[in-house]
């Protein structure tokens, strides 16, 4: 395989594919596609079921997009990351107040970060799940307010980016640092090898 399509706007995912030495091209949604609707949580849905379902839906949409645009055939990679604490899925904050509330909930506690990855290569689909535990230090109201004011939490699951300023909040992780960033390199490498890439 010479390259793949990355169906994600995340610069972190692109950087992690670069790290693996995988050539990739963006395959982003049209304005007519409602990407946010795919991320709606179903009643009583677990975080594991949610992140795997959303990733599969995103991959389905990306494969259709590839066909619709008549682009050269190549594997397509999708991923989705979610944060969960106390049985609640913490998605992207709706506003600054929501971001502050999420960070206050995570302060001084351990939460889980789940990233599902899926690759479509022809008729074959390969999928994997990375689960990590992250413990935050106890944060003051000022720390939370300053971080939210930076704008970094917006658009991020759980209202933080471990590769950014929030890295200073992380007291301990058990799992995959790259998975917490949005694309677990170990699991992704395994999927890509199954799809025919040489790493």
The catalytic site residues sit at 80
- Which region holds residue 108: left if phi is over 0, alpha if psi is between -120 and 50, else beta? left
d(CA 171, CA 110): 10
117, 78 contact by CB (below 8 A): yes
- Residue 177 DSSP symbol: H
Strands 24-26 and 76-85: unpaired
What tokens does 106 get? 């995570």
152, 37 contact by CB (below 8 A): no
């Amino acid at each position: 395989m010479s390259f793949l399509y990355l169906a994600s706007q995340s610069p972190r995912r692109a950087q992690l594919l670069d790290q693996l030495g995988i050539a990739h091209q963006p395959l982003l949604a049209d304005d007519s596609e409602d990407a946010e609707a795919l991320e709606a949580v179903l009643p009583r849905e677990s975080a594991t079921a949610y992140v795997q379902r959303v990733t599969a839906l995103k991959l389905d949409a990306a494969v259709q997009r590839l066909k619709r645009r008549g682009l050269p055939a190549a594997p397509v990679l999708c991923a989705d990351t979610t944060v969960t604490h106390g049985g609640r899925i913490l998605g992207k904050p709706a506003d600054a107040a929501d971001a502050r509330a999420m960070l206050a909930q995570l302060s001084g506690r351990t939460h889980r970060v789940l990233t599902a990855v899926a690759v479509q290569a022809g008729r074959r689909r390969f999928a994997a799940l990375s689960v990590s535990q992250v413990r935050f230090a106890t944060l003051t109201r000022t720390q939370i307010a300053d971080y939210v004011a930076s704008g970094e939490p917006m658009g991020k699951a759980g209202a933080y980016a471990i590769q950014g300023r929030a890295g200073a909040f992380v007291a301990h992780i058990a799992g995959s640092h790259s998975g917490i960033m949005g694309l677990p390199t170990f699991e992704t490498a395994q999927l890509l090898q199954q799809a025919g890439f040489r790493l």
